[in-house]
Structure 1
Amino acid sequence: GRLLIEFSSQITLERVQRENPNVTEGGKYTPSDCRPKQKVAIIIPFRHRDNHLKYWLHYLHPVLRRQKIDYGIYIINQLGEDTFNRAKLLNVGYTEALKDAEYDCFIFSDVDLIPMDDRNLYHCYDQPRHFAIAMDKFGFRLPYAGYFGGVSGLSKKQFLKINGFPNEYWGWGGEDDDIYNRITLNGMKVSRPDVRIGRYRMIKHERDKHNEPNPQRFSKIQNTKNTMRKDGISSLMYRVVSVKKYPLYTNISVEIGKPPPRPFKG
């Protein structure tokens, strides 16, 4: 049912570890009392958000265990200070998680979003799933009909059908609209939980440096149909610098390059 979510108390990773003794190295858990139908990789795009991560792990590990999900947690950490690229990091997470285990479901979550109801089940559905439909910052309403941001889930088959996510959205915004377009252009629909169950709290924060709104996002979204076959998991390039398995999660630090220079308008 409903969960009480607050961000005032200080949380340490040691405490979260103590509270989740059944989670194994790399942030993995398999329920002992049932055979889950799906193996779920949870992918979090990341940079400089250690405090948020502690809260996320503190709240999500117990929820996922209660839901009897067979899961692993992957933090995809963008190295350097070039512009942030959320969707490209998610593509990296998909690719790297599959090198680690045979996942058939992928849940992509921002590190600052905590579900307020544990009936919001973190697994994959017949159609691509949008979990974070009612966030506190949007007054617990969907901001617009095609919104697919925050927390979403696709099966391996669904992900490959849309050629994964776009790699060319540098900076904040637009990439989730592109993903929504990919889903509908490929004849799929977005599935969502009931609005009373899909509620989320967002950990308040300042907009990150080097994640400024992407001014090209509006023209790019119009163009998904032409770009999705060549820009996606099929064209992904990156370099893994390190993979570290911690008790509560796996951290994958990557170099993903930087945005191409903008054409000079003189």
Structure 2
Amino acid sequence: MRESRLCPLIILQVVGTLGLLTYLHLVKTSRERNPETLQITLRDNNPYANVEFSGKLSHFEKVAVLVMPPRERDSKTLQEIWRANDSYGNVGLGGKWSPSRNRSASSSEKVAILVTYRDREEHLKIFLRHMHPFLQRQGLDYTIYVIEQHGEEQGFCKGLLYNVGFTEALKDDPSYDCFIFHDVDLLPEDDRNLYTCARSPYHLSVAIDKFDYKLTYVALFGGVSALNTSHYRLLNGYSNLYCGWGAEDDDMARRLYKHVLAISRPEPDIARYKMLSHKSREPRDDNTDKRYLLNTALHRAKTDGLADLQTANYSVTSITHKALYTHILVNITKRKPIKHVHPRKIGKRNTN
């Protein structure tokens, strides 16, 4: 009789203890999950704390630690982290990965990450090490495409490379729903910054450390942006004419305006990025025609882009499915000088 009374009391005591422990755990983790707390941790945590740097490691590799989870920085040396990430979650040939073993059976959105590239080997290595685990934690069905420029043209033709990457990626897999246009030197800091396409064009790199985590201007659409396949075709892609530093993204912003497509963005405390440092004496190939091209952007929007890609003086040298990405090597010949024509004449030419 006495034992029968003790059993319920013991059970109640155990349940009560478990309930108290669960409550304390929830209180603790709720504080850790608080967005403000997370951002303070990312901002104030010393990136080099308890990390042993070897003289063999480059400055770029040291900087990459800034965006690694704090628990990994505290418990492992940098060399051990690199070795632990060598598997990259069993990424398929060509940089393809899916949460489903059978990609064709996956019902998730298919995402193509397009990275334009030239002479950035150190950046590319860090980008791949960071992005594969990041994208896999989000459970994305994705492929990373690296579009590399070579040839006679000295100016970097970013818009043209994006158009080539878009076209070749759809040849590789016509079922892509979403395209992420990504600078190789930008690394996302927060897993909540979802790499997906929204109903409207989506600008992801809202807050970059180089610019004090502030949006530099309202119409900014550069750095990291997302467009679904139908929107990119509607916009006629990027302009093919910008070869040299700057303004191709502002040209795209004008195309968005022309088609009444508003830019949407995640919250700035989530859309935070680390910009990898560049060589101090690295030359910048300024585009002397960019002001003229911007002034005539709306007049050329229908004809300059995907529509005239076949006449853009380029050729695809090779497409190679490497271990961590699909490499598209693009030869761009020396571009002819751009003739400055009055916008009204451009408009008449396009209507004929």
What does 1:100-179 align with in structure 2 at a 5 Å threshold?
Answer: 100-101=172-173, 102-179=175-252
Q: Distance in 2 between matches of 1:234 and 1:263?
A: 20
> Which of 187, 209, 216 is the aligned partner of 2:260?
187
State whether structure 2 residue 195 is matched by structure 1 residue 84. no
Q: 1:29, 1:70 within 8 Å by CA — same for their partners in 2?
A: yes
Q: 2:151, 2:332 within 8 Å by CA — same for their partners in 1?
A: no
Higher helix fraction (1 or 2): 2
Q: Secondary structure at the match of 1:153?
A: strand
Q: Distance in 1 between matches of 2:212 and 2:305?
A: 33
Moved more, 63-72 or 80-89: 80-89
CA deviations 1:71-129 (Å, max 9, x no partner) are 00100010135211111111110001011112121101010000011111111110011
Q: 1:11, 1:54 within 8 Å by CA — same for their partners in 2?
A: no
Question: Could you list the runs of 5+ residues in structure 1 that have no partner in the other structure?
Answer: none
What does 1:218-237 align with in structure 2 at a 5 Å threshold?
Answer: 218-237=291-310
Q: Secondary structure at the match of 1:40?
A: strand
Question: What's the offset of the Cα at 1:20?
Answer: 1.1
Question: Could you list the runs of 5+ residues in structure 2 that have no partner in the other structure?
Answer: 1-37, 49-60, 66-77, 341-352
Q: Distance in 2 between matches of 1:226 and 1:48?
A: 33
Q: After TM superposition, what 4+ stretches of structure 1 lie above 6 angstroms from structure 2?
A: 1-6, 9-12
Q: 1:74, 1:249 within 8 Å by CA — same for their partners in 2?
A: yes
State whether structure 2 residue 165 is matched by structure 1 residue 93. yes
User: Which amino acid in structure 1 is aligned with residue 98 of structure 2?
Assistant: T
Residues 148 and 182 of structure 1, relative CA distance in 2, 3 Å threshold: same
User: Which amino acid in structure 2 is aligned with residue 52 of structure 1?
Assistant: H
Q: 1:245, 1:251 within 8 Å by CA — same for their partners in 2?
A: yes
Question: What's the offset of the Cα at 1:21?
Answer: 3.5
State whether structure 2 residue 290 is matched by structure 1 residue 212. no
CA deviations 1:137-193 (Å, max 9, x no partner) are 111001111111111110000101110100001100000000011011101111101
Residues 148 and 242 of structure 1, relative CA distance in 2, 3 Å threshold: same
Q: Which has the higher Rg, Structure 1 or Structure 2?
A: 2
Computed over aligned residues only, the root mean square deviation of the Cα atoms, in angstroms, reads: 2.4
Q: 1:36, 1:69 within 8 Å by CA — same for their partners in 2?
A: no
Residues 104 and 219 of structure 1, relative CA distance in 2, 3 Å threshold: same
Q: Distance in 1 between matches of 2:129 and 2:255?
A: 33
Question: What's the offset of the Cα at 1:214?
Answer: 1.1
Q: Distance in 2 between matches of 1:65 and 1:160?
A: 28
Moved more, 94-103 or 255-264: 255-264
Aligned identity (percent) is 42
Q: 1:16, 1:57 within 8 Å by CA — same for their partners in 2?
A: no
Provide TM-score, normalisation by structure 1. Answer: 0.91
Provide TM-score, normalisation by structure 2. Answer: 0.69
Q: Distance in 2 between matches of 1:57 and 1:180?
A: 28
Q: 1:164, 1:232 within 8 Å by CA — same for their partners in 2?
A: yes
State whether structure 2 residue 321 is matched by structure 1 residue 241. no
Q: 1:78, 1:84 within 8 Å by CA — same for their partners in 2?
A: yes
Q: Distance in 1 between matches of 2:333 and 2:149?
A: 9
Q: Secondary structure at the match of 1:219?
A: helix
